[in-house]
């Protein structure tokens, strides 16, 4: 995974999006054995990794090969030397997107709980998947910043409140929410299993599982 990349939460979670999944029409056709990428974008402590881990369990229970590309872990391997400027963040997202597409093209279910704060870099990742006919699902974990700050899994919000310049996404650094993700999850009142179950149901609707 490192070679590929170099190329290129504690509060309850629940789902109050009564409108249901948002879908796109320009999706590659898939069979149940097809690999795919699920990108979970959202603020720090939104629940991205927690939901991805739960979904990974559901997929593995059916015998699927699953790869979770956690943003912090990838930074420690495939994005060494990158900081948190806009340019470096966009480079990081493109590298992760490249690695995800390559793995998905080989049949893996790739789950990517990475903030990806800028719409342009997220669009570039989607475009790469579409160009390679690799199924791609963008999920917005739309937890409000006040809820994320209460969870504060990594202590980032506390640091920012104490006056430490963290460049914290959604607080003192921009976050551009997706306008039309494939699925939007509001985790304020849902359990982890409910959010993962809704995402799994979306994958079923797409014919990916």
Binding-site annotation, residues for ATP: 42-49
Q: What is the pLDDT of residues 175-208, one digit of tens each?
A: 999 999 999 999 998 999 999 999 999 999 999 9
pTM of the model: 0.81
Domains of the chain: 2-13+33-205 (3.40.50.300)
Q: What is the pLDDT of residues 30-82, one digit of tens each?
A: 455 689 999 999 999 999 999 999 999 999 999 999 999 997 788 767 666 78
Locate 66 and state its tokens.
């699953």
Binding-site annotation, residues: 42-49
pLDDT at 18 over 60: no
Q: How many CA atoms lie within 13 A of 60 on its CB side?
A: 11
Locate 35 and state its tokens.
């690999």
Residue 116: Cβ-neighbour burial (10 angstroms; 0-12, 13-18, 19+): buried
Grouping H, G, I as helix, E, B as strand and the rest as coil, residue 160 is: helix
Q: What is the pLDDT of residues 91-137, one digit of tens each?
A: 999 999 999 999 999 999 999 999 999 999 999 999 999 999 999 99
Q: What percent of the chain has pLDDT over 70?
A: 81
Report the candidate in 16, 18, 14, 23 with the shortest Cα–Cα distance to residue 203: 23
Residue 83's pLDDT is 78
Q: Is the Cα torsion angle 128, 131, 136, 140 positive or negative in sign?
A: positive
């Amino acid at each position: 995974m490192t070679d590929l990349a170099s190329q290129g939460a504690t509060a309850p979670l629940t789902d109050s999006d009564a409108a249901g999944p948002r879908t796109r029409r320009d999706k590659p056709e898939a069979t149940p054995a097809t690999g795919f990428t699920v990108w979970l974008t959202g603020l720090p402590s939104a629940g991205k990794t927690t939901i991805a881990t739960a979904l990974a369990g559901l997929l593995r229970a059916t015998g699927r090969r699953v790869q979770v590309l956690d943003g912090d872990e990838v930074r420690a391997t495939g994005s060494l030397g990158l900081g948190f400027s806009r340019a470096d963040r966009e480079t990081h997202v493109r590298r992760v997107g490249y690695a995800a597409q390559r793995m998905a093209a080989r049949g893996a279910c790739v789950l990517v709980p990475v903030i990806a704060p800028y719409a342009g870099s997220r669009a570039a990742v989607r475009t790469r998947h579409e160009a390679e006919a690799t199924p791609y699902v963008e999920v917005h974990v739309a937890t409000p910043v006040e809820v994320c700050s209460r969870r504060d899994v990594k202590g980032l919000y506390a640091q920012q409140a104490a006056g430490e310049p963290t460049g914290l996404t959604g607080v003192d650094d921009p976050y551009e929410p997706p306008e039309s993700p494939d699925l939007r999850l509001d985790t304020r009142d849902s359990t982890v299993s409910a959010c993962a179950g809704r995402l799994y149901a979306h994958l079923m609707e797409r014919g990916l599982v």
